[in-house]
Structure formats: structure tokens, C-alpha cells
Structure 1
Amino acid sequence: MSLLDTIARALTFRTVRPAEPAKNGRDSAEMRRLRRVRQRMRSGAVWSDKLIAPRPCMFKDLSVGGAQVEILGAPIKPGLLMDGLWLYFDTEKHEVSCSLVWMNGRTLGLRFEGALRPPSRKYG
């Protein structure tokens, strides 16, 4: 499924299904405004002006407003990503400007800040 199909599918979905119950018994209803679509075997790259080279990543989930990605290899220091970054989609050969929302080890939560555009640099 292409990125544009994924985004269109997410936009036409009207309801958000609740999250699975938490293991501690508390109510953990999904509070997101946009539906997330889990991704399998979709790769890309994360890049910022402070990184020497783009870092390969795998998409864990994707929505219209952002993505959750896992960096391959060693984790990136948070200070290198705080001033904005770009997320490159290998299959679509496009990139999008992002901001870092959260980070947990090698997993990043990203918010899209702009529209998809042709790459501004060479990836891989």
C-alpha cells in the first residue's frame, strides 16, 4: 500500500477504535484524533542538519499527522533531533519535515510539519 493510499484510508476512517485494556486493569481508551495504521516492513531514513548521515529506520505506525519509527542501529542522541528533522519514505521516494514529539530508546514519535516533497538530498 502506498503512502498516499494509507493517508487517504486514514482520512476516510470516521471512528477510532479503543486501545486494548491495560494490563494493570485501568481504562486506557485511545484518545487520538486520527487513526494510526500499523506498518510492516516499510523502511525509510531520519535526517537532521546535525547528523553526519541519514539514519535508516523502520516505520511502526503511520497516521496523517505523524509516524512512529524505530531507528536501526545505535540510538540517536535527542539533542541532535530537537531542531527539526526530515523523514524519508523509501517506497515513495519523498520526504516530509517533522518535529520530535517523544523518544524512547531507538523509537521516535514524530509529528509531520509539512507536506510530502521530493527529496532535498540523496538518501542511501
Structure 2
Amino acid sequence: MAAANDGLRRRARLLCGLAALAGTPAGAQTFPVHLDQHLGGLKIIAQARAADAAGDIMVLSLTNLDQRNARCEATFDIRVLPPKTYQRDVAAGEQVQIHHRVKRSVNRMTIDLDCAPAD
């Protein structure tokens, strides 16, 4: 009976391991992303994530929970190319996304986010 339970446990562990591998895209790159936020007293949630398996598209989502409109400037810096800056207006209660394509291999990224009231 104990041998049968050990066999079931091994199969369960194997299936869990395979499920974890299946959820990871082949060739997926992971690298540290430092998000430096200066929100100017606004209630803004910022989240950065890679948008594809190759890791060459970074998406910065900005959600404005404040009652004031905001103007945000995001600078993406991978250190091997000049930084790229984007400006977005984020209305009160709205969400916007900034898509940044990286044309080189990345081993780390810094995103400087500066927001201020737009009104």
C-alpha cells in the first residue's frame, strides 16, 4: 500500500512540474525592471511587465485612481541605447498603457515615471 502511495505522489509531482514548464514560454527572457515613481501626490498605480515571450516588448500600465487628471512621462532606459521617453495624459479614473519595444538584448531596465496634475 505504501509503494502505491509513493507512486501516486511521484506522478503528482511530475504532473505539477510539467504544468509549470508548460506555462513558461520557450525562450522567455526575464530581467530585472526597476520602476522609479515620482507621482506628484497623485493616486496612480503603475505596473510594468514584458508583453511577449522574447521579452522585447515592455508594457507600462498606468491607472489613475485620483480625482484629478494627470500628465505622466515615462523614460525607459536599458543602458546600451539612448533612453526613450513617452508622454501620456491619464484622465481621472482611467487607465493607459505605454508599449516600448526593445531592439536589443536586455539584461536590466530602469523606468523613470514622473506624473503631475494636468489641471
Query: TM-score, normalized by length of structure 1?
Result: 0.27
Query: TM-score, normalized by length of structure 2?
Result: 0.28
More strand, by proportion: 2
Bigger Rg over Cα: 2
Structure ranking higher on relative contact order (CA contacts 8 Å, 6+ apart): 2
